[in-house]
Amino acid sequence: MPRSGPISLSLPPFAGATRRIILANVAAFFALAVLSWASPSLEGFLLRHLILEPLAVGRGEVWQLFTYAFVQEGILPILFGMLTLWFTGSLLEGARGSRWLAELYITSVIGGAAIATAVSFTRVLHFRPDVGAIGAWGGIFGLLVAIAMLFGDQEFLLWFVLRIKAKYMVAIYILIAVAILLKQSDSFGALLQLSGALCGFLFVRFAPNRGIALGFSERYFGLRNQYYRWKRRRAARKFEVYMRKQDREVHFDKDGRYVDPDEMRKNPDDKRWMN
């Protein structure tokens, strides 16, 4: 995929992992909206256990490191958040695949929450572990950083008005988050976004191009095959020793495969068998 090109006003594909993530967020938003109308007390109970609150995470509610991303503040935040996720996610998914995109998003969501939670307990910059945060922007910031790293010269329309390269657009988002972190009351939310951006950077920098899960599976099967080859070579050596005790000679190659004696007696310089 090219790193730069003209801006297209057509909508990107709405499919794959991008569609699944957006639909999950929208479904959670409307489910909580209906629940707030049908049973406000139950909604309040669920929200207390779904939002990210460092103190609650410290008490064992570790699922909050993930569930907070599906709790949105209102219509405008989820609208702009899902539009950003749609445009960035579709570009990344087209370049790296659905598995890679899903792992990037989940890593940014959970990793960003874990980092922000740990930092809040230090109380640096007046952070407090009893302040909560919600929203998908931790994961979205991870996608934005990935866009800046992989397609930094690709041009976008910032807020559908300003023509700007991806790397500069992402820099603006990060500077806004830093300003909120230093000046506004919602500093924990900004810390969460910046932590998600850091996790996105680390994922793009160090994760395999086809995703962590596939990389781990390949490594697992590689180690498993090495173990089986070692067992086969060990069994072959034992069998050779046993057959020598029976006054018989058998041979195996370095991988533990049986070598036919007739093949061993062939002259390697004899080319008569060739056409």
pLDDT score for 243: 75
Mean pLDDT of the region 250-265: 68
**Residue scoring higher pLDDT (253 or 159):** 253
Cα 162 to Cα 169: distance, rounded to the nearest angstrom: 10
pLDDT at site 7:
47
What are the structural domains of the chain? 16-207 (1.20.1540.10), 218-265 (no CATH)
pLDDT tens track for 12-60: 888 899 999 999 999 999 999 999 899 889 988 999 999 999 999 999 9
CB-neighbour burial class of residue 137 (10 A; exposed 0-12, middle 13-18, buried 19+)? buried
The answer to whether 112 touches 141, Cβ cutoff 8 Å, is yes
Average pLDDT over residues 183-188: 74
Give residues with Cβ within 8 angstroms of 141, minimum separation 6: 108, 112, 173, 174, 177, 193, 194, 196, 197, 200
pLDDT at 204: 92
pLDDT tens for 149-180 read: 998 888 876 666 678 888 888 998 899 899 88
Predicted TM-score of the model (pTM) = 0.76
